[in-house]
Amino acid sequence: MDAAPGLRLDGLMTVAPLAGEYAGRQRAAFDRLMDLSTALRTARPAANMVSAGMSADLEEAVAAGATHVRVGTAVLGVRPKLG
């Protein structure tokens, strides 16, 4: 970030992974994001935003400590897939 003075790191974001170590384990994935966020804030105290979860798993994200969630489907309903 020091090499890019025009950018501001406000925090971290993730969605629950569909594959890999955390697939099907949303809470574990969100807990890991919180661990990463805590470590990041030691070097960048202003990077305090944690965006995690969507409509289907927002409870797990909030329980893990997310400060932002994406709830498009809960508000707008299921939308057609692109492509």
Is 22 within the bounds of a domain?
Answer: yes
Is 65 within the bounds of a domain?
Answer: no
Domain that holds residue 2: 1-51
Is 81 within the bounds of a domain?
Answer: no
Is 37 within the bounds of a domain?
Answer: yes
Tally of domains within the chain: 1
Tokens of 15: 């969605």
Q: Is 37 exposed, middle or buried (0-12, 13-18, 19+ CB in 10 A)?
A: buried
Is 42 within the bounds of a domain?
Answer: yes
Is 77 within the bounds of a domain?
Answer: no
Cα gap 29→42, rounded to integer Å: 21
pLDDT more than 90, % of the chain = 71
pLDDT tens by residue, 45-77: 999 999 999 999 999 999 999 999 999 888 889
Is 44 within the bounds of a domain?
Answer: yes
pLDDT tens by residue, 5-41: 899 999 999 999 999 999 999 999 999 999 999 999 9
Is 63 within the bounds of a domain?
Answer: no
